[in-house]
Copies of this chain bind each other. A is one copy, B any other.
């Protein structure tokens, strides 16, 4: 028996609590929609909890992260309000082996920028273009069962150059009506942590209710779950208090 994947879905949860039109799309928050999708698709293979910016320590205490195999991250308007102490903690846990799935505008989140080492900037405009998502790594576990192509009728447009390091793998590439192309699904390895960035979906569109998008996230949770032991190198621990487990 394989142990289930313990997923924590983190959401800034600001749009949903301050903008009625977003709350209408995501009445239980983006985190709620993502969690429901995972539970529906993965059943007993997943244990899901959620956490938001407003929770104490943003809901990402040492205890929570220690029990999290994969952290899913959605943020947009309040990146700066995430406490550096929590960012340190997330960073440390990713390097030790916790998986991380970064969604959409999470490209500008503090943990992602720190892990990438680049500006993580990209081009964007919001005109409701059709996004067509093409699988360019059809044998990748994250692409299993995904339509070729996967069409999102209306979405915010993200464009290159997306300033991230050379990815380990490009899984998806998107084309937008206006002519933009974008590497919309990419994997990275940092320490023992497996990271997947996936550019859909914006808060203005019901992306996370789309069954195929849920399928990508479910696949990504399985892929990012590092089933080896989780630890930072001893050398790194010796050198820096930053890497010491919090007591």
Q: Are A139 and B180 in contact (CB under 8 A)?
A: no
Q: Which B-chain residue is minimally distant from A112 (CB atoms)?
A: B117
Q: Are A166 and B180 in contact (CB under 8 A)?
A: no
Q: Is A19 an interface residue (CB 8 A)?
A: no
| A134: B residues at CB distance < 8 A | 159-161, 180-181
Q: How far is the CA of A239 from the CA of B108 in the complex (A)?
A: 10
Q: Are A163 and B191 in contact (CB under 8 A)?
A: yes
With A134-B161, A173-B181, A175-B179 already in contact, the answer to whether A193 and B139 are too (CB < 8 A) is: yes
Q: Are B191 and A233 in contact (CB under 8 A)?
A: no
Q: Is A192 an interface residue (CB 8 A)?
A: yes
Contact bitstring A134-146, B, C-beta under 8 A = 1, else 0 = 1111110101110
How many whole Å from A207's CB to the nearest CB in chain B? 18
Task: Name the contact of A136 in the complex, choosing from B144, B161, B174 (C-beta under 8 A).
Answer: B161
- Interface stretch, picked from A9-17, A32-40, A57-65, A182-190, is A182-190
Task: Name the contact of A132 in the complex, choosing from B116, B162, B180, B191 (C-beta under 8 A).
Answer: B180
Q: Are A176 and B173 in contact (CB under 8 A)?
A: no
Q: Are B117 and A194 in contact (CB under 8 A)?
A: no
Residues from 119 to 147 in A contacting B, C-beta threshold 8 Å: 119, 121-123, 130, 132, 134-139, 141, 143-145
Q: Which B-chain residue is minimally distant from A172 (CB atoms)?
A: B181
Q: Is A235 an interface residue (CB 8 A)?
A: yes
With A119-B236, A193-B139 already in contact, the answer to whether A166 and B168 are too (CB < 8 A) is: yes
Chain A residues with CB under 8 Å of chain B are 2, 95, 97, 108, 114-119, 121-123, 130, 132, 134-139, 141, 143-145, 148-149, 151, 159-163, 165-166, 168-170, 173-177, 179-181, 183, 188-194, 226-228, 232-233, 235-236, 239-240, 243
Contacts A135-B161, A136-B162 supplied; 15 other A-B pairs, CB < 8 Å? A95-B163, A118-B190, A121-B235, A130-B179, A134-B159, A135-B160, A139-B228, A143-B228, A144-B228, A165-B188, A165-B190, A168-B169, A174-B181, A175-B176, A175-B179
Please give me the 3 A-B residue pairs with the lowest Cβ-Cβ distance, nearest first. A119-B236, A175-B175, A121-B235
